[in-house]
């Protein structure tokens, strides 16, 4: 952690203090607000979990990365540009991913539930009682499970590139990308840099295998059964050019979640939050913030 700055959840009095002092950057040393992204670790469920943190807003948000993702690799523009006055943003590395290694990643049948419990327990350990979830792809699945399993803790939910079940069509897509040597260097190299070639290849193959197991063992179901239990306001975002997750997935989520809204981005691919970060961040902030007033 390069800078030490305090950014605990703050109420209106600290916001007032801030407006009086008129500072938003670390160079005002006496002011407890900082635009930097700090990182830390907490021991949760027997594992040392790595997380990043930024902002001092009352509304606390957890960013959940995709398969083999990490806070830093998956959410750079969110950590950097989301409104730090309105939000306290936490990004985490699930066990076996990013800087939460060891342990090495494994995929028992309940791995998404295990991630969901780890994520929620991490937030409780950081003393955040209630928070919103922003989950991308596999992180979206984890977020859906967390919202369905711990509804009293979740304020709002945003998922994109996510699916609640594995269809035959998905299996074909997974198998098409299973061999990472066929990935473009642009996609492969950041992962190999983070994990080393061997860990990356082995873990990704294990993930593809685990997805196949959902199809073989539970009729494709991952968390479809939990969707009717999710009652927090939910925004489902999907890119119409997403080549990895077919459009029937967001439609099916929307249909089964009573309090959900579907937002389609015509030019968006799977990584729409990185390529169209400004548009995505605005959409997310409006959803988290504006409806808040009416609740
Ligand atoms: N679920 C993966 C993620 O979390 C993305 C992915 C989807 C990968 C479909 C391959 O065929 C695939 N980023």
Q: What is the DSSP string of 143-189?
A: HHHHHHH-GGGEEEEEEES--SB--HHHHHHHHHH--GGGS-HHHHH
- Whole-angstrom distance, CA of residue 295 vs CA of residue 293: 6
Classify 272 as helix, strand or coil: helix
Q: Which parts of the chain are beta strand (E)?
A: 38-44, 47-54, 59-64, 87-93, 131-136, 154-160, 234-239, 260-265
Q: What is the pLDDT of residue 156?
A: 98
Q: What is the pLDDT of residue 3?
A: 34
**Paired residues of 263 in beta bridges:** 237
Ligand 1 close to Cβ of residue 66 (< 6 A): yes
**Paired residues of 132 in beta bridges:** 61
Domain ranges of the chain: 13-293
Q: What is the pLDDT of residue 290?
A: 77
Q: How far away, in angstroms, is 10 Cα from ligand 1 center?
A: 36
Of 63, 65, 66, 171, best ligand 1 pocket probe by most atoms within 8 Å of the beta carbon:
66
Ligand 1 close to Cβ of residue 173 (< 6 A): yes
Q: What is the pLDDT of residue 232?
A: 96
Q: What is the pLDDT of residue 85?
A: 96
**Paired residues of 158 in beta bridges:** 134, 235
Span 203-251, pLDDT tens digits: 999 999 999 999 999 999 999 999 999 999 999 999 999 999 999 999 9
- Dihedral-angle region of residue 4 (phi above 0 means left; psi in -120 to 50 means alpha; beta otherwise): beta
Q: Which atom of ligand 1 is nearest to the CA of 173?
A: 11
Q: Which atom of ligand 1 is nearest to the CA of 137?
A: 4
Q: What is the pLDDT of residue 190?
A: 87
Q: How far away, in angstroms, is 263 Cα from ligand 1 center?
A: 20
Which class in CATH covers the domain with range 13-293? Answer: alpha beta
Q: What is the pLDDT of residue 34?
A: 78
Q: How far is it between the farthest Cα atoms of the chain?
A: 61
Q: How far away, in angstroms, is 227 Cα from ligand 1 center?
A: 20
Q: What is the pLDDT of residue 184?
A: 87
- Whole-angstrom distance, CA of residue 238 vs CA of residue 163: 11
Strand order in the sheet with 260-265: 38-44, 47-54, 87-93, 59-64, 131-136, 154-160, 234-239, 260-265
266 contacts: CB under 8 Å, gap ≥ 6? 240, 241
Per residue of the chain (295 residues), give pLDDT as tens. Answer: 333 343 333 333 333 334 333 334 444 444 457 789 999 999 999 999 999 999 999 999 999 999 999 999 999 999 999 999 999 999 999 999 999 999 999 999 999 999 999 999 999 999 999 999 999 999 999 999 999 999 999 999 999 999 999 999 999 999 999 889 888 898 899 899 999 999 999 999 999 999 999 999 999 999 999 999 999 999 999 999 999 999 999 999 999 999 999 999 999 999 999 999 999 999 999 999 976 433 3
Beta carbons within 10 angstroms of residue 122's beta carbon: 23
Q: What is the pLDDT of residue 291?
A: 64
Q: What is the DSSP string of 236-249?
A: EEEETT-SSS-THH
């Amino acid at each position: 952690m390069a800078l030490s700055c305090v950014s605990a959840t703050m109420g209106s009095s600290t916001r007032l203090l801030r407006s009086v002092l008129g500072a938003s950057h670390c160079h005002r040393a006496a002011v407890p607000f900082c635009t930097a992204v700090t990182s830390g670790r907490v021991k949760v469920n027997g594992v040392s979990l790595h997380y990043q943190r930024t902002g001092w807003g009352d509304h606390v948000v957890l960013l959940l990365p995709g398969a083999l993702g990490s806070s830093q690799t998956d959410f750079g523009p969110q950590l950097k540009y989301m409104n730090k006055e309105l939000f306290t943003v936490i990004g985490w590395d699930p066990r076996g991913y990013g800087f939460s290694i060891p342990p090495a990643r494994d995929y028992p049948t309940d791995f998404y539930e295990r991630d969901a419990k780890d994520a929620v327990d991490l937030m409780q350990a950081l003393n955040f009682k209630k928070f919103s979830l922003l989950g991308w792809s596999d992180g979206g699945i984890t977020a859906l499970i967390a919202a369905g399993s711990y509804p009293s803790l979740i304020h709002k939910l945003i998922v994109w590139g996510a699916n609640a079940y594995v269809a035959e069509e998905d299996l074909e897509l997974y198998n098409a990308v299973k061999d990472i040597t066929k990935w473009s260097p642009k996609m492969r190299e950041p992962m190999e840099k983070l994990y080393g070639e061997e860990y990356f290849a082995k873990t990704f193959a294990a993930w593809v295998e685990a997805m196949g197991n959902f199809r073989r063992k539970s009729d494709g179901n991952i968390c479809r059964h939990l969707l009717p239990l999710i009652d927090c306001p939910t925004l489902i975002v999907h890119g119409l050019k997403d080549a990895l997750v077919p459009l029937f997935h967001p439609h099916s989520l929307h249909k089964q979640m009573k309090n959900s809204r579907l937002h389609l981005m015509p030019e968006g691919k799977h990584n729409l939050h990185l390529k169209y970060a400004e548009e995505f961040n605005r959409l997310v902030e409006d959803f988290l913030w504006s409806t808040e007033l009416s609740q």
